[in-house]
Amino acid sequence: MIEEELFSELENCPESEQKVKIEEMNGLVEEMNEKEFKSVFNTELYDKIFKMIEEKKVSMENTILLLKHVGYCKVLLDWFSYAFKSSLLSRRFEKMLVDEDKKNEEKNEKLLADLCECFILFDHCLSSELDLICIPCLMKFALKKDESEETRKEAEMALLALSSIRDNFVEQELYLNDIKEIIEYHQEHRNLTRLAYQSAWQFLTDRFFIDNSLDGEIVSELHFTREAARELEDLSKCVDWKKEKEEEKEKETKEELVIERWFDEIFNFLYLNALWIEEFAGLIGGVVLVYRAAKGNNEKIGRECVFVFETAAETRSVDVEELLKGGAVDVVLEGMQRQTFNEGMTSKCLQFFTTISRRLEEKKRDDKEEEERKATKRKVFEKMEEEGYEDIIASFHKIFELLKNKHQDYRLSLKISDYFVNV
């Protein structure tokens, strides 16, 4: 393989030429798919890099230059690989960052941050000892308020690394004030890149998985739904959707990848949030804007939009009226009339309306809420009737059994009457 040849050349060329080889390898990494990535960047390769460091055939500076870019691509594309974790290089980096942190006046903050980023981008489960070292170190770089290009890149890398920390409880004292300051400062000054800002939110909302006491900060203080909606709207305008379709590119743009990362956080938020908030309609509206822009151009993102609507319909903290106001009902109805609609999307759309129907059948104890329920039910019914929903369901009725068998979705009813909101 070309990549293996380049590593052999790297081992045998002088340090002055190594940066050129590394930049060439970094360019090849950007063109890889996940299978190719895992084939090249395996444990044997990381062990080889470790040996090259030990034999002084490659400098630590050049090793970091390579690994930071490889790790950046891996995390941005959401590829999972445990090859680094079991390598000699992983142990070398862990020891180096622990030793560097123990230094006082001689501590090299930039080297420590580089080591933390390299380690976390490849190994997202940190020990409590490494949490105490890596999180404050990377927060310090993310907190820099200088708007130079170099500072923005440093903040983006630091926050991307932090966003990849998974599955471990972190004491709020270690991060909460810093991450709130980062988010609030950006909301006022727009100093971060779009990926950096999304990564800051991802780090915070991932903590919400384990520590649900954070809902006040996320919802009331930092306004997650408002910010996610605004970012989705802005990102949808940055993508040349028609060009993407015409060129039939296999690789998604950075903006499209950031949109998908926002969707991951929205899914998490919908599942975990127990508060009813008025800004949900705005959040749904942001996803609707993306759906309308991606429709017919990026089927993957269009499908994820429908999954957000279906998840929101199941979530008790989202009122059906908010789904109606946000435009989710409109776009799902529009989508179901497309000839290119596939079976998986059909299943999700039908589930969306089945869930809404079930929720609108639930009578309220309070007279005012009951009147609101009836009013919402009538609005949904009129919308469905206006768009010819009954005809759509009739046309799908013959393939319900196929859909059920293929997707093994026991929630997908075969009774046609279940798909109508009867007033």
Say which residue the tokens 């393989």 belong to: 1
| Sequence-ordered strand ranges (E) for 335-399 | none
DSSP code string of 285-339: HHHHHHHHHHTTT-HHHHHHHHHHHHHHHH-TTS-HHHHHHHTHHHHHHHHHT-T
pLDDT, the chain, mean? 86
Q: What angle do CA 230, 234, 239 make, to 5 degrees?
A: 150
Contact by Cβ (8 Å): 140, 177: no
**What is the predicted pLDDT for the residue at 204?**
93
Closest CA to 219 of 159, 166, 287, 274: 274
SS3 readout for 10-25: HHHCCHHHHHHHHHHH
Q: Give the separation between CA 410 and CA 289, rounded to whole angstroms.
A: 31
Q: Give me the mean pLDDT over the 384-406 stretch.
A: 75
pLDDT tens digits, 4-56: 666 777 777 877 788 888 888 888 899 899 999 999 899 999 999 999 999 98
Helix (H), strand (E) at residue 82: none
Q: How many CB atoms lie within 10 A of CB 153?
A: 12
CA–CA dist 77, 38 (Å, integer)? 13
Domains and CATH numbers, the chain: 223-423 (1.25.10.10)
* Confidence label for 164 from pLDDT (cuts 50, 70 and 90): very high
Identify the three-state secondary structure at position 221: helix
Residues 6 or more apart in contact with residue 398 via CB below 8 angstroms = none
Predicted local distance difference test score (pLDDT) of residue 285: 93
pTM for this entry: 0.90
Question: For 341, which DSSP code?
Answer: -
- pLDDT digit string (tens) for 213-271? 887 888 889 999 999 999 999 999 998 887 655 555 567 899 999 999 999 999 888 87
Helix (H, G, I), strand (E, B) or coil at 74: helix
Nearest to 66 by CA among 98, 100, 33, 29: 29
DSSP string for 124-152: ----HHHHHHHHHHHHHHHT----SHHHH
**Amino acid 340: pLDDT:** 57
pLDDT at residue 125, as a whole number: 79
Rounded Cα distance, 423 and 419, in Å? 13
Buried b (16+ CB within 10 A) or exposed e, 209-247: eeeeebbebbbeebbbbbbbbebbbebbeebebeebeee
Q: Indicate the Cα dihedral angle 163, 169, 171, 174, nearest 10°.
A: -30
Radius of gyration of the chain from its Cα atoms, rounded to whole angstroms: 25
Q: How far is CA 356 from the centre of its chain?
A: 26
- pLDDT tens digits, residue range 166-217? 767 888 999 999 999 999 999 999 999 999 999 999 999 988 878 878 878 8
401, pLDDT greater than 70:
no
Q: Please tell me whether residue 274 adopts helix, strand or coil conformation.
A: coil
Q: Is residue 266 within 8 Å of 203, Cβ to Cβ?
A: no
Cα distances (angstroms) measured from residue 43 to each of 57, 260, 338: 19, 29, 47
The pLDDT, as a whole number, for residue 330 is: 92
pLDDT for 249: 58
pLDDT of residue 342 exceeding 90, the answer is no
Is residue 88 over pLDDT 80? yes
Mean pLDDT is lowest, of 137-141, 306-310, 396-400, for 396-400
Q: What distance lies between CA 323 and its chain's CA centroid?
A: 22
